Structure 1
Amino acid sequence: MWHVVAAGFLFFPGLYQLCIRCARRALPGWLEADYSLLSSRIVSSIHGVIAAVSGITVITSCKDVKYDRHWLATAYLWLIIPYMVYDTYAMYLRHWYKCKDSKVLNGKDHFSSAMNSLLRKEFLMLVHHISILTILVPIGLFIRGDIGDFYIGCLLVAELSTPFVSLGKILIQMNLQNSLLHKVNGAFVLLTFFACRILLFPFMYHAYGKQFGIPLYKVPFNIPLHCNITIATIMAPQIYWFTLICRKAIRLYSNSASIKDR
């Protein structure tokens, strides 16, 4: 599968550079940080679509949730490696451009300023990326053995919300936060995030219980403890992010209602 890793290291940075070139032509006058931010969000959206389609394919192909196999489950775990490495560097690059464009370095070089900004503003996302690379990917590739492709597919489907989240940020970046498209997209963000990142985990328990004839509430007591711990660890940040999304949605639709009442 090393060819998948190599292809990923070519595809994601190449797509990022292509988006930057197109953005420079379509939106002259923007700062480099804006081009970088827009391009990284487009790449994230494309990755989210590819991951979700792959996950749905795996889920629908695996009738036995424990033992059925599908080659996409393993292949995409290899592809996640270059994507996470690329996305981590893209996050750093955005902050590097931002420091350079603002010319506020406080006596520090670009690297130090960009790293401080990255760690301060995107610490949780960095932890998320590092955890996937150092814990989830090794478990999925080398420890789980020949079981659990169905659940790998479920985790890939979680990326279905990413294109809507990215589109919302792009619309804000282009000063379209008051547009109808932004409000409709906000509803899709809530729906897809809740369905694919919150309800996903009860669905995984339900699928296991349905196959083995175990009631949903008893499933956690009939699977290994480390499985419950892994699911809880993955689910915790999703709940936190969903809370943030709900707060933003309340502000968005509250502001819209107040404007209509005037």
Structure 2
Amino acid sequence: MFHALVCGAVVFPGLFYAFRKTLKHSFRQWSDADVVSVSERLVSAIHASLATAAGVIVVTSCRDTMKDSHWLVNGFVVFGAPYMVHDIYAMYLSHYHVQRVRGQSRSYSSHSLQTVKAFVCKEWMLILHHLALLLVFMPITLFFRRGLGDFFIGCLFITEFSTPFISMGKILIQLGLDDTRLHRLNGIVVLLSFFTCRIAIFPFMYWMYGWQFGIPAHKVAFHLPLQCNVGNMAILAPQVYWFILLLRKAKRLYQRQKRGKEDGSKDRPRTD
């Protein structure tokens, strides 16, 4: 376990550092905010891809949803723990440089308690999400499960499947490709993958448990300990909130593009 922890503590900050150096050299016109933001997204996509791969391996290996175990569960939880700490730092660094670019040079002339407070107020839900995974999910997974439920932990790993596509959308915007077919296609994939792997996967877990023990899906929740249902709801609630935000963003983008097409058709000279 110690080796996995050290490996995670080296890999994720190391990737972040390498991406910053490479992007700064390759895109000299980019500001520090651009470089840090894209670097953070790339590292996030890599972590999410690894988590998804680990989840698929665990889920497909566990035939018994409660008793089957796989070494990847504890191993990846420990390996991914440093990422949670690193990502909070990377998000803060991105926030800091973005605010400087937006003209907040006086308030953001240097790192201070004020800049940290502004970051926490803006990104409190993501920070809480990371801390909950680190301080609640990890101890429960490692010490309090008694080796049960690796299948469900694998399913929770798979919830990260949509993250690389979310990161890709941010990067496409950064590259000025937000009005392209690739960006629109990626947006559709984001919505589908987010709903499937971050929301629908919870009913799927209940259904699999009920299927194994011969319990109707709508009665599974009453056969589980209260803390299991509360934990699932605590994880599901922010996913629903973020999905609603994604839908609103997609709607705004669609309306903006529709208005652009209408304005373009009005300006086009008639040939009849």
Pairwise CA distance, 1:107: 8.8
- Asked whether the equivalents of residues 56 and 157 of structure 1 are also in contact (C-alpha less than 8 Å), the reply is yes
User: Which residue is 1:123 aligned to?
Assistant: 124
Check whether the contact 1:65–1:148 (CA below 8 A) recurs between aligned residues: yes
Give yes or no for contact 1:206–1:216 (8 Å, CA) kept in 2: yes
What is the alpha-carbon distance in structure 2 between the residues aligned to residue 242 and residue 172 of structure 1?
A: 19
Q: Tell me which residue corresponds to 2:93.
A: 93
2:155 match: 154
- Out of 229-238 and 172-181, give the one that drifted further: 172-181
Amino acid at match of 2:13: P
Q: Give, in whole Å, the separation in 1 of the partners of 2:182 and 2:68.
A: 41
Q: TM-score, normalised by structure 2?
A: 0.92
Asked whether 1:12 is paired with 2:6, we answer: no
CA distance in 1, matches of 2:204, 2:108: 52
The alignment status of 1:259 with 2:260, answered yes or no, reads yes
- Aligned mates of 1:118, 1:107 — CA distance in 2: 11
| Aligned CA distance change for structure 1 residues 47 and 107 (closer, same or farther; 3 Å) | closer
Deviation of 1:186 after TM superposition, in Å, equals 0.1
Gaps of 5+ in 2: 266-272
Q: Which residue does 1:81 correspond to in 2?
A: 81
Alignment partners' CA distance in 1, 2:16 and 2:156:
24
In the alignment, which residue of structure 2 is the partner of 1:226? 227
In the TM superposition, 1:102-141 aligns within 5 A as: 102=103, 104-106=105-107, 109-141=110-142
Find the structure with the greater CA-based Rg: 2
Q: Distance in 2 between matches of 1:256 and 1:203?
A: 36
Deviation at 1:106, TM superposition (A): 3.6
User: Identity over the aligned pairs, expressed in percent?
Assistant: 44
Separation of aligned partners in 1, 2:110 and 2:218 = 55
- Going from structure 1 to structure 2, the CA distance change for 1:103 and 1:224 (only over 3 Å counts) comes to closer
Relative to structure 1, the CA distance from residue 106 to residue 47 in structure 2 (aligned partners, 3 Å threshold; closer, same or farther) is closer
Give the match for residue 64 of structure 1. 64
Matched-pair contact (CA < 8 Å) for 2:36–2:93:
yes
Range 207-216 or range 99-108, more displaced: 99-108
In 1, the alpha carbon distance for the partners of 2:108 and 2:222 equals 56
Alpha carbons 1:201, 1:231 under 8 Å: kept: yes
Higher mean Cα deviation, 147-156 or 79-88? 79-88
Taking a change above 3 Å as real, the CA distance of residues 36 and 211 of structure 1, as seen in their structure-2 partners, is same
Q: Is the Cα–Cα contact under 8 Å of residues 96 and 115 in structure 2 kept in the other structure? A: yes
Does the 8 Å CA contact 2:107/2:115 hold for their aligned counterparts? no
> Is the CA contact 1:99–1:105 (under 8 Å) kept in the aligned structure 2?
no
The 2-side partners of 1:190 and 1:99 are apart by: 28
The Cα shift of 1:95 comes to 2.7
C-alpha distance in 2, partners of 1:96/1:182? 26
User: How far apart are 1:175 and its partner, in Å?
Assistant: 2.1
CA–CA distance in structure 1, aligned partners of residues 148 and 254 of structure 2: 44
| 1:110 match: secondary structure | coil
Q: Partner letter of residue 221 of structure 2?
A: P
| C-alpha contact (below 8 Å) 2:55/2:153 kept by paired residues | yes
SS in 1 for 2:112: helix
Distance 1:88 1:62, change over 3 A: same
Extract unaligned runs of 5+ from structure 1.
none
Equivalence for 1:171? 172
- The RMSD of aligned alpha carbons is 1.5
Report the Cα distance in structure 2 between the residues aligned to 1:27 and 1:207, rounded to whole angstroms. Answer: 48
Residue deviations 1:55-106 (CA, integer Å, cap 9, x gap)? 0000000000000011111111111211101111111222333455556234
Letter in 2 for 1:216: A
